[in-house]
Structure 1
Amino acid sequence: MQKNAIVILILAILLAFSATGFSQASYDTLSIYDLQYVPDPVANDLSPYLGDTVVVKGMVMNNPRDLWIGARWSAYIIDQDSFPNPWSGFFVVQNDTFQPGTLFGFVEPGTICYFTGVVSEFSNFSQITLLDNNPLIPVEILSVGNPLPDPVLLTADDIDDRADAEQWESMWVKVEDATILNNAVSGNWASFTDASGGTAFMGEYFNWFRDRLNAGTYTWPPNGTSINVQGFTRDETAGYSINPRDTLDVVLLSDPPPVIANVSRNPGAPGSSDVVTVSANIEDNISVASARINYSVDWNAFQEVAMSAGIGGFTGDIPAQGDGAFVRYYISATDNVGGTSVFPGDTSMTSGGVYFYVVRDGNHSIRDIQYTWGYANDASGFNGYEVTVEGVVMTDSTDYVGDYWIQEARAPWSGIWVNDADHVFLKGDWVSVTGVVEENFNVTRINGTAASLVQAGFGEYEPIDQTTGNITTGADSAEAYESVLVKVSNVTVTNPFPDPSGNFGEFVIDDGSGELRVDDLFSAFRGNLDSAFVSGDKYSFITAFHYYSFGNYKLAPRDSLDIGPLTGIEDNITAPLSYSLSQNYPNPFNPSTTIRYTLAQSGKFKLEVFNVLGQRVATLANQFQTAGAHQVTWDGRNDAGNSVGSGIYFYQLSGNNTTLTQKMILLK
């Protein structure tokens, strides 16, 4: 009875909204297939209707509050008329959850609706963002209580790369008879395989998993466990994932083998006289029968060393090895019924990795820290351990305050990022740095605890000449140049705004060998790099450190001297045909948000923030501005420099007889 009352209430509200004059009829009605299908996902997987306002029909597959998407609501939808065919799943987002008039907050799984919004992309994940303000168009509910279809049966190979997986984006899918490879993939993911031989991932996009994984009250099934998993596919920077709703979507098919965790070694950076003690926590639901260290020296066959149980876990020793020896190892454990697990779960070179170290009598080299030995997992073998390395400082203290980059040679694998706010060196100084190696969002760096000058004025290394295609995302040699100074020549700007969902200070260049991103990492460019680089512009060279973030390799120039002279300008550059004031991003926000706008003509313009009483809170811009695209960041402070309170604010662009206004929400 209560559910029926809610449905009646929703329908009554819908009728009231239909009288306001806002209707889906103002926009084209398209199918999910229309919005999703692309002929070549590898070349371009963005929706062909990106940026358009459209109407689409779909069946809601989850409660909009069940997904982790910050201060927003979202739901997967399917085309109930074409599912389970490819290209029949999509994703709906509402940014302003303080706006109940969309009725999106009332929909439940099994509700079929028309949704009106703007097609957008978030890290290549296609979605529609509902019109929740200027104009507000509520969802049109056609029917409720429809049964959810069975998921489409796929294999791990179907979703392990973009060429195969893009057609299943946002689909309700299932993989059977899979085996957990690694239950501790970065980002709270788990990897698995099946008889197809592919490697796919489970993700924690649903709050049930995210909350418990972050709190440490749940872990994915142990490596080696056989499972059936069903959920919704998502395209993220790290790959495609199946996202189950709760544990009912992850069915265990076998008794879980032992759980191996918290593997460590002592010493972390061994010399030739050091026996290396490896420790691990190993647990089983009944008992652990045996545990082993499997190790290999200089690519010889793996040998086994038994581990013994003691207070705090299991330990075993790898014998001392000669200076320069390369040692690989992983842990295996067997329980009382013969179930066996290994850690890391995927020890293959093509898709996984192992623990490893190089024996040195003296300091380790940067190459020792950076080199991945051909394994797909590019984390340093010294991750989490203290090392001492030497190299020449390649940045000034003002390039990135508190950090610097050093190189030991003009060669691949020779550079590393140092996080060290306590020591200031000059570019060209040869220094010694001691600190703990860490993976900072998949970039290897050293958290410096001690540093000293070895030789002043040693001199910088010249950049290594490269092509854009050789060091771009997906290139075999890209990882080798992480934190190494490189130079690309005769490049053309091919995309000044490569991220449709927002401006993240990047642009794309190409020298004819393949596209490569350029980032605003360093202080000279931070926040406004792509406002100065126009599509079609040609530059004689760009010198930069090779860097990785948000799923892409990219260049990070240090200052304006790293950008060569402009050798060509696109001839057909014209000013925008109209003025525009975009919705701020993110919204709601805390503590800051970015506002983008375009000007059809040059002139004096103001960008101001007002509260709901119409009182001016802050002036973000008040000067002569050229025609074109602009952006401003507001940090939630008024003109006096004081933080303002939570609430609704309006930002207004005015000038040249034009006034545009948008609403934003500050949440604290």
Structure 2
Amino acid sequence: MKKALLIMLFLALLIPAVVQAYPLVPIDSIQWVPVGQDSSRIAGDTVITGGLITCGTGAFYAGTGVTFYMENPSGGDFSGIMAYSAQAQGYPTLVPGDSILCTAVVSEYNSLPPPEFVTMTELLIIPSTFEFRLYGMPEPEAMDVPCSEIDSTAHADSAAEKYEGVFIKVHGLTVDSLINYSTTSTWICSDSTGHQICVREAADSIPNSFRPPVGTQFDFVQGVVYHRFGAYLLQPRYMRDMRLSRGAPIVTVAHTPLYPLVGDMVTINAYAVDDEPIPQDSVRLFYRINLLPWTPVSMTRIPNTDNYTFTLPSIQAGWVIDYFVHAVDDSSNITNEPYEAPLGFHRYTVQAPRTMTIAEARVDANQDYVPDLLDSAVIVTGIAVSPNFNTRKTDFYLQQGNAGIEVFYDSTQIMVNPGDSVTVNGIIAQYYGKTQVVAYRNNRITLHGSGHLPETTVVTCNDLADINGEAHEGTLIKVNNVLILPTPNPWPILGTSATMTMVNGDSAVLRIDLSTDIDGQPQVASRANIVGVLSQYDYSTPLNGFYEFMPRFYTDFTWQTGVDEDVVIPNDYSLSQNYPNPFNPSTLISFNLKEKTQVSLSIYNIMGERVNNLINQELEPGAHSVRWDGVNTAGQKVSSGIYFYKLDTNEFS
């Protein structure tokens, strides 16, 4: 009887693990979804696909990787898609009209947390699978789409899903309002019927200062459709993707540095564009100091561009500069920026930074979750508790006592290691709820040598919940014995980030950033202890939620090597379905032991031959897991196919 029972259990617990070949799937088959849905039906699958490039590499920021858009040569609904490769080095330059083929994982990028998922379907290119098919084909024609098809205000978003990733053109747009960010902007535009569309200016080839004033009219705007934060956005790729109607020049203005300190010279930058060339010396700056009379000066044009500059000398702390720009085109059309000048104007005040503690810099006395010193100049010193969470810029966390803050410098990366003593002279800022000190020059971040890391504070997931997390933002913390769940994202493959869930009583967000050494590593055990820093990414006021726990290194995860043990002792033996299945390149096998026993866990091929023995040792009672990376006992990769695994103990098989 016991022998028969053992055989039945053996047959029931033979779980196939399959490594599959990849099908050839056209883009529209990847993208097609029923009305009202936005996630690909084959998300997570690996496919071979290709098409014509509509937006080349380098058009949009992609960190250390590259991103581009392509679509079916025949065009049409669901014909376009965004593609991403984590490896930019050695990657070919793609331009519109090139034809390519590649192998990729179909992925969904979630820009909102549950339950409000908004997903952008994208292809994660598998390294070394890229093939050129044709070079130098004509640039694909943009698909004409009425504004009403992509009108978020009219709740037409489900209709716009078929244009996600597609190269489209929308005619007759007028700028109604602008939302300005540090390096991008969003223009709310409408057509003659009153329907609205969001145009997102994020292309590297379009100057950051190009911010069309309210009332600007375009004959057309064309670009690729990007799905983000609940809206379908039209992204122009290059300046040629926008054509102005006739009229006065468009002038946008900015000054750098944005928050000048004593000793800074400030450059006024104007971007002036018209349907015809603007005559020489027709772009002028008017400025005044401390409300004295206006002083006019001609701005200098940068050759072969529409950019004009003028640099003002440094002035004393507390002094105030007001300015506006006046431009005249060849038809005597006049534009002032701002348009109500001289009654309206741009202004900045020169500051002298104050030295203080990080805790003082973060003070929020009125508890509105905005630092009271927002936009103020400070000097803070602390110990770096993370390296840079960025591959091109300076972006790390600094802690002093129990208070932490993010340090950010946009232009270059200053190498910082955990334990370094650092002084920062910068401006208090806030980015999606996260308090920052932003430096505008690299010599305002000073490294004093290696110090000592502060003590790691042990917290629970409840301590990282909404409101509670503010006390730990920017500091080095540790969570013990958390269950790691692959939701909303699975463990990240190389070159990708992932937002996961961790649980120990309550749940919290685990964020793995692609700038670390974690992505692409073997998935850690389902239960682990984790060290990291607490960040935040909240997009709605009050800014007191969406805290993200971010490990810095793969070694920030600790668990028993090879086998993960849980403190909960099960009532019986069990062997679980491996995950993922099918898998490539590795899978996790989990099982429970009700008592201490000798354990053998082996992998067999379809012929019944044992190809690997993963465990052969005595284990304690509890939950365990072990990873198989698809190799045999000699360490060689096995061929694709069906495999079985079998668990043997003293009393169970």
Give the TM-score normalised by the residue count of structure 1: 0.52
Q: Cα deviations across residues 493-512 of structure 1 (Å, max 9, x unaligned)?
A: 22178268834475612558
CA contact (8 A) 1:116 1:130 kept: yes
Compared CA separation, residues 515 and 63, structure 1 to 2 (3 A): same
Give 1:48's aligned residue. Answer: 41
Equivalence map 1:140-539=2 (5 Å): 149-154=143-148, 158=152, 168-171=163-166, 172=168, 174=170, 176-179=172-175, 189-195=184-190, 200-204=199-203, 212=205, 220=210, 222=212, 225-227=216-218, 228-235=220-227, 241-244=233-236, 246-253=238-245, 254-264=247-257, 268-269=260-261, 279-282=267-270, 284=272, 285-286=278-279, 287-288=282-283, 291=286, 306=294, 308-309=296-297, 313=310, 315=312, 321=318, 332-336=324-328, 337-342=333-338, 362-364=354-356, 366=358, 381=375, 388-391=379-382, 393=383, 395=385, 405-408=397-400, 410=402, 414=405, 416=407, 433-434=423-424, 449-450=445-446, 462=457, 467=462, 470=465, 483-485=474-476, 492-495=483-486, 498=489, 502-503=493-494, 504=496, 506=498, 508-510=500-502, 516-519=509-512, 526-527=518-519, 531-534=523-526, 537=527
Compared CA separation, residues 444 and 294, structure 1 to 2 (3 A): same
CA contact (8 A) 2:265 2:314 kept: yes
Give 1:618's aligned residue. Answer: none
Give 1:68's aligned residue. Answer: 57
| Corresponding letter in the other structure for 1:151 | V
In structure 1, C-alpha distance between the alignment counterparts of 2:479 and 2:189, rounded to whole Å: 42
Compared CA separation, residues 126 and 459, structure 1 to 2 (3 A): closer
In structure 2, C-alpha distance between the alignment counterparts of 1:162 and 1:514, rounded to whole Å: 34
Deviation for aligned residue 1:434: 4.3
Q: Alignment partner of 1:574: what SS?
A: coil
CA contact (8 A) 1:575 1:628 kept: no
Deviation for aligned residue 1:360: 6.1
1:597 alignment partner, one of 581, 586, 595: 586
In structure 2, C-alpha distance between the alignment counterparts of 1:425 and 1:72, rounded to whole Å: 35
Q: Alignment partner of 2:32: what SS?
A: helix
Q: Cα deviations across residues 264-284 of structure 1 (Å, max 9, x unaligned)?
A: 378x345xxx9x975413464
CA contact (8 A) 2:603 2:612 kept: yes
CA contact (8 A) 2:386 2:417 kept: no
CA contact (8 A) 2:157 2:232 kept: no
In structure 1, C-alpha distance between the alignment counterparts of 2:28 and 2:145, rounded to whole Å: 20
Deviation for aligned residue 1:249: 3.0
Deviation for aligned residue 1:179: 2.8
Give 1:36's aligned residue. Answer: 33
Deviation for aligned residue 1:334: 3.8
Deviation for aligned residue 1:233: 0.4
Equivalence map 1:560-579=2 (5 Å): 573-575=576-578
- The root-mean-square deviation of aligned C-alpha atoms, in Å, is 7.0
CA contact (8 A) 1:468 1:516 kept: no
Deviation for aligned residue 1:151: 1.9
Q: How many residues align?
A: 504
Deviation for aligned residue 1:333: 3.0
CA contact (8 A) 2:464 2:547 kept: no
Compared CA separation, residues 658 and 242, structure 1 to 2 (3 A): same
Compared CA separation, residues 661 and 555, structure 1 to 2 (3 A): same
- If asked which structure has higher relative contact order (CA below 8 Å, sep 6+), I would say 2
CA contact (8 A) 1:31 1:79 kept: no
* 1:547 matched to 2:565: no
Compared CA separation, residues 262 and 161, structure 1 to 2 (3 A): farther
Give 1:660's aligned residue. Answer: 639
Deviation for aligned residue 1:257: 3.2
Q: Alignment partner of 1:498: what SS?
A: coil
Deviation for aligned residue 1:307: 6.0
Give 2:542's aligned residue. Answer: none
In structure 1, C-alpha distance between the alignment counterparts of 2:386 and 2:237, rounded to whole Å: 49
In structure 2, C-alpha distance between the alignment counterparts of 1:529 and 1:132, rounded to whole Å: 16
Give the TM-score normalised by the residue count of structure 2: 0.52
> What are the ranges of 5 or more consecutive residues in structure 1 without an aligned counterpart?
1-22, 99-103, 109-113, 205-209, 296-302, 344-353, 583-595, 606-621, 632-651, 663-668
CA contact (8 A) 1:160 1:200 kept: no
Compared CA separation, residues 255 and 530, structure 1 to 2 (3 A): farther
In structure 2, C-alpha distance between the alignment counterparts of 1:548 and 1:51, rounded to whole Å: 27
